[in-house]
Every structure is written in structure tokens, then in C-alpha cells.
Structure 1
């Protein structure tokens, strides 16, 4: 979760009582890493969550104290993390301005092949849905009071694989993302009357360190003829968490260069 050292300067220039706070799962790489940078640059306090401890070589000064190690595959661990999050938010009046559910897993065959419905084990199905589907609603419900206090926003990260078969994303991942898209609509209806907006972003082929071999062949199917960049996704997430999208609720924003058309 490295970040430009200059970011810490902008953060120290804004008092804790004025700063908005983001909680982000899956922050260690790719879209999550870019999102940390985008919000931190704007002066937000970012509480990160991942299975791994905060890396010692990361230049982000506030990182270690605002990092929570959590295994979202464990319901018990997730509830414990929620308690830790609520405790960290007390310093800012127990307000949470944005929750971004980005963490996800997609198990593969040995060698990285796609797992279909016949090949995915029962344990893998359960683990994928616990992380990709159940954890987002557990976190949002557990932090409901803090979100309401800030009139905050929730962004769920779905996927283009949730609406069509994908050559690399496995069956469990794809169906969990389809379920998360449906959950986003339900949450928008339930959270909206409390002043909390819930939306989703649906990335397509984004250039990260975990691209599957052969991804470059999909570029010909993308109208813009290129892969997306993590920073482009992060900007969309930021939009959905700020006043620019104040009347956007229950939407799923496609970030794929037109691939879904």
C-alpha cells in the first residue's frame, strides 16, 4: 500500500475533525491500492483492511495505525474487525463517510485455469461467497450507525464477469459478483431512507499485477482498444463517495471501455 510521501503533508494540513473517513477492504494492490492514493490525496483519512499486515516499507505515515488485519472468510473475524473499526471511528465522532467493499477472491485450478460449476469444491463456493458477498453486507450493517451519522456512501465492487461468462473468472466468483449487484440494489432501497447511498462499480479488464495470461487477447473486444488503469477505477469510486453523485443511488457503473456493449 505504498503512497507518495507528499500525501502525508496534505493530510497533516487538515485537522481530524474536518477530515472525511473511508474504510476500504482489499487495499494492498491494484484497484484498492489506487483507491487509497486517490482518497488520501484528497485529504481523507483511510482505514485499510486486508489479510496481510501493513507493509513496513510503505511510505504512508498513517498506514500502520489505520490498518486492520482481517480474514473476511471468517464471520467471527469479520465481526471482530467491525468492532475495531467502530473503535477507530470514535476519534472523529463515530462518523463514516464511505465504505468501499473491494476485497474479493477467485480460486483457480493448478496453473491458473478457470474453475467452472462442475469443478468448484463446496468449500470454495462457501469461501468465495463469504468474502465477495456476505462480508460487504456484514460490514455495511455493522457500520450502519456511523454511515448514517455522516450521511455516507457505500460502494460495492462487482465485475463484468457478473453479467456474462468470462474466460478467466471462475463460476463462483462470477455468480458472487452477480449476487453483489443484486444486493447493491436491495441495499440502496433499504439504506437510502436513512441518508446513505449505495452504489456499485463494475470493472472490466483492468491492468494490474494479477492479470490472467491471455488477457491481452480481450483488448480486441473492447471498443476503446486498451485495458483500463486502476486509477481510472479509483476516480469512479471517489465520484460515487462524494457530492458529485449526491443523487446517484442503486446504480452499477460500468468501467470497461465499452466492453459490456
Structure 2
């Protein structure tokens, strides 16, 4: 799909689209011809940079503040996006956090926060987006290869939340199938972002391909999953990690 093939831009909403993978997906969807709304939690400056980059490339984009743990903020963001851009054709749920610690030192408050954002927030975003999505729409979640295997001390809770996302996507595919809405989950391994910048060398050495992924590579897979070519795929979790979790 290209911008020239659209009589008017179809609307896409990227939850957590101000940095890293989410920003790359927002830019890619804009290049594919979508009018893009992206949410951010606190970095309005980063969100504005993504919007400016899309607009400079001739695309249409808006940024909306929404805490992934706040049900009312999520619902309001979806309502705002559809009011300004039209009924949703695509939703990408990328918001999430990572905090790690061994079992005996893992704070309950951190556990609650990660469950609230990484699991509850994902469900709420899917629920709100699906309610304002055309039949035949596309939903993509960004999970993690740690849903299969972490191999890192202190990563148990994060892995648990990402395994929950994979299960949620598999089961919600049944709920959404009567409307021909597909839902799929991308499970990236180590990706070069500001979060991984401090330990890239370690990640590269552990990876069979001796490199980490780029956000644009994840965005390419997301673009495929929302395309007509992927209309028969739903409920799937696709791992993209260079063999890291083998």
C-alpha cells in the first residue's frame, strides 16, 4: 500500500509511539499512507519530533498524551484520535516498561506497576481501539522474546507479563474473528534503542548473529501484519531476535 493508492488516509493509532520501536512503526505506517496518531506518557518533546518527521515527509500525524496505566486516558486518546483522523483501521500497542530484580528483592509496588502497564494497559488499549475500529481492521501488539526465554536473572516478572500478552493475543483472535479484525503479536529480541544503549556490547556477544536488531526491522514486520498480505494470519506471536532465545 502506498500513499498514492489511498483516496483519503486511513487512521492508525500507535500506543507508545514517541521513541524506539513505537516511533519507527509510526513513521513506517505514515510512509504506507496512514494518518497516524501516537501516544506518549511523559516525553512530549520526543513525540513532537516524531510528528514533525512524519509531517516533513508529507504525512499526517498527531501526538496524544496518555498514561498506559490509566483507563480513562486510553479511552480518551482513542476517542480523540478517531475524532480527528477517522475510524481506526490499525492499532499498534507498544507501551510497556521493564524493571528487573531477583525474587527476594522484587518490590510489590514494581510488580503492580508492571502488571498494570504491560498487561492491564495492553488489554485496555486493545479493547478501546477495537470498539472504534472498522471491520477488517488490524491490531498488532509488541511483546518480547522473553515470553519464551529470558535467560537473565531478575527478568521473571517482565517475562511473565510478555507471556501474558502472547496468550491474550491468541485468545482475543477468537473474539475479533467475527469482525474480520486480525490481531498478532511481535516478539522482538534486543533492539538498538536508548534503553539498550548502555549494554549493547553484551547483547551483541550473546546473539548468534552477533548484532542487535533495529527498530526499523520491527516496523517492517508490523507493516506486513497490517497489510492485506497478512489477512489470513491472526492470533500469532512472531519472534524476531536473531536467534537470541533459541
TM range (shorter): 0.7 to 0.9
| Aligned counterparts, 1:98-113, within 5 A | 98-107=90-99
Higher helix share: 2
Seen in structure 2, the aligned counterparts of structure 1 residues 207 and 95 have a Cα distance that, compared at 3 Å, is same
In structure 2, runs of 5+ residues without a counterpart are: none
Residue number among 61, 65, 72 corresponding to 1:69 in the alignment = 65
Cα RMSD, aligned residues only:
2.6
Mean Cα deviation higher: 197-206 or 18-27: 18-27
| Aligned counterparts, 1:75-90, within 5 A | 78-90=71-83
Seen in structure 2, the aligned counterparts of structure 1 residues 215 and 106 have a Cα distance that, compared at 3 Å, is same
Q: CA deviation at 1:166?
A: 3.6
In 2: Cα distance, 1:87 partner to 1:207 partner: 31
TM-score scaled by structure 2? Answer: 0.86
TM-score scaled by structure 1? Answer: 0.81
**What secondary structure is seen at the aligned counterpart in 1 of 2:92?**
strand
Describe the superposition over 1:176-214 as per-residue Cα deviations: whole angstroms up to 9, x where unpaired.
111111111111121112211111000011111211644
The equivalent of 2:27 in structure 1 is 37
Residue number among 218, 221, 224 corresponding to 1:239 in the alignment = 224
1:167 aligns with 2:152: yes
Seen in structure 2, the aligned counterparts of structure 1 residues 89 and 256 have a Cα distance that, compared at 3 Å, is same
Residue pair 1:97, 1:152 contacting (<8 A) in 2 also = yes
Residue pair 2:30, 2:60 contacting (<8 A) in 1 also = no
Alignment: residue pair count: 239
Runs of 4 or more off by more than 4 Å in structure 1? 62-65
Q: CA deviation at 1:99?
A: 1.0
In 2: Cα distance, 1:236 partner to 1:204 partner: 13
